[in-house]
Structure 1
Amino acid sequence: MTKLQITEEYISFLLQEQQGHLSEMEKYAQQNNVPIMESTGMQTLLQIIMLKKPANILEIGAAIGYSAIRMGIAVPNATIVTIERDESRIIEAKKNIEKVSMNEQIHLVEGDALKVVEKVAKYAPYDVLFIDAAKGQYEQFFELYEPYVNIGGLIISDNVLFKGMVAGETEIHSKRLKPMINKLRRFNEKMMSESRFTSMIYPIGDGVMVSIKNSKCDE
């Protein structure tokens, strides 16, 4: 175990466990292999958006609605639009959003994020774009939805270090993962060198990148 992993475990130990339905959602995710944001990454995300105080948040990758609900609790005045394409997860997300009575705050858009731009654009502009879906498509998600983010807005991307493989901390586990890892590396390089954004990668959770939008594409 690396020093960074030891530190991560220590911080995770200090974080309070979720109660009630959020705890049930965490158990469901673990039992059904549904990826949800790691606790340290989630806490970082919540602190950032609480400081930002966004009016509108767009999330790509709802899964079962866990992160959308956590964000909705953290910033109760924000409207959250979240996209999901997996039918079984859509069903669970709807149940969970209904269970916590957040139907008015959280709008679930069903379908492939690469194909539902028109539906999502109706709620624009956004103060925060949270990318947490298919890792090999991060750059495409960025290109599609970045124009709908306000100047001064944030683009937050999870899993950008993907289990240490992106930075070479751990070996790539299989040949199948290599194309995705290479795409994440290209995305990271693009964002860190993009003059219209101020970006930083934080080695928290599975790697969280925070990018501040400084200007529009045509400026």
Structure 2
Amino acid sequence: MIDFKALSAYAAAFTQSENDLLRRMEQRASDLYIPIMQPSAMAFLQQLIQWTGARQILELGTAIGYSSIRMAIAAGQDAQIITVERDEKMICEARQNIEALHLQNAIQIVEGDATMHLPEIEKAAPYDLILIDAAKAQYEHLFMKCAAMVGKGGMIVTDNVFFHGLVCNIDAVKKKQLNRLVKKIDDYNHFLFKQKKFDTIFLTIGDGMAVSTKNSDGEECCLEKK
């Protein structure tokens, strides 16, 4: 059987960040276990932004600003990225990284809990693309919040939907807390599949990625398929 982690590492070897700061951020994240997107997933997301011409982007889960920076680079001039983070230390480091690359006009950090009501992000809607990369146990709740903030053809991208491949063998996860989390992610994947207003594909990139494209307008954004 092919090892999922080994395959991800193989794919990552063919990607390269745009500058030294991003490469240092990757190393720091690896050393300190800071959650950032895997290189192959990030490279695909950049391509997706370029293919679709996404300019108005929302990110839930800033961490040290890695994804925000790379999305801003991919989106180019006139892009507006709003990113949400609640950890003050992460916010401080993200701001430093964003300013070091002179991207503070393109990237706005909103301080707060992505699961809560945040007027700043709602006022900036609709978004071309929303990246969900925070509070994995709250993925379904976050998707419900985001569904109304993308227009027809807009996308919601969710990272870590395979969670190190554990969703394929949940019963083998013996730690109770981890088992509950993996079950929640598996439930979320099934939830995505049932959405009438979104067409979702699951990609074996990085730690697993779901790309959900809104296919029609309407008040009820999260109805189950029959």
Q: Name the TM-score, length of structure 2 as normaliser.
A: 0.90
2:205 partner amino acid: I
* Identical counterparts, % of pairs: 39
Distance in 2 separating the partners of 1:61 and 1:87: 12
Describe the shift of the 1:173–1:68 C-alpha distance in structure 2 as closer, same or farther (beyond 3 A): farther
Q: Which runs of 5+ in 2 are unaligned?
A: 221-226
Once residues 3 and 156 of structure 2 are traced to their aligned partners in structure 1, the CA distance between those partners, rounded to angstroms, is: 28
Query: Could you tell me how far apart the structure 2 residues matched to 1:122 and 1:22 are?
Result: 30
- Give the corresponding residue for 2:75: 75
Task: Report what 1:197 is aligned to.
Answer: 198
Following superposition, the deviation at residue 121 of structure 1 comes to 1.1
Distance 1:40 1:170, change over 3 A: farther
2:137 equivalent in structure 1: 136
Structure-2 separation of matches of 1:118 and 1:101 = 26
What corresponds to 2:25 in structure 1?
A: 25
SS in structure 2 at match of 1:14? coil
Q: Counterpart in 2 of 1:12?
A: 12
Which residues in structure 2 correspond to 1:1-219 (within 5 Å)? 2=2, 4-16=4-16, 18-77=18-77, 78-168=79-169, 171-172=172-173, 174-218=175-219
Deviation at 1:16, TM superposition (A): 2.7
Q: Alpha carbons of 1:66 and 1:151: their partners in 2 closer, same or farther (altered >3 Å)?
A: same
CA contact (8 A) 2:63 2:94 kept: yes
Superimposed CA distance per residue, residues 113-157 of structure 1 (whole angstroms, 9 cap, x where no aligned partner): 122421211211101010001110111111112101111001100
> Equivalent residue of 1:58, what SS?
strand
- Structure 2 Cα separation of the partners of residues 108 and 173 of structure 1: 37
- Kindly report the root-mean-square deviation, in angstroms, between the aligned alpha carbons of the 2 structures: 1.8
The Cα shift of 1:27 comes to 1.8
Aligned-partner Cα distance in 1 for 2:17–2:53: 24
| Rounded Cα–Cα distance in structure 1 between residues aligned with 2:33 and 2:4 | 25
Amino acid at match of 1:146: A
SS in 2 for 1:74: helix
CA 1:205–1:170 in structure 2 vs 1: closer, same or farther (change >3 Å)? farther
Residue identity matched to 1:134: A
- 1:22 & 1:91 partners in 2: Cα distance? 16
- Residue 163 of structure 2: SS of its match in structure 1? coil
Shift of 1:64: 0.5
CA distance in 2, matches of 1:173, 1:81: 38
Given that 1:125 and 1:150 are in contact with CA atoms closer than 8 Å, whether structure 2 keeps it comes out as: yes
For 1:170 and 1:66, the matched residues in 2 are separated by 34
Amino acid at match of 1:43: A
Secondary structure class of the residue paired with 2:172: coil
In the alignment of these two chains, the number of paired residues is 219
Q: Distance in 1 between matches of 2:195 and 2:214?
A: 10
Alpha-carbon distance in structure 1 between the residues aligned to 2:60 and 2:46: 16
Looking at structure 2, the residues matched to 3 and 161 of structure 1 have their Cα atoms a distance apart, in angstroms, of: 13
What is the Cα deviation at residue 14 of structure 1? 2.1
Cα 1:160–1:55, aligned 2, differ >3 Å: closer, same or farther? Answer: same
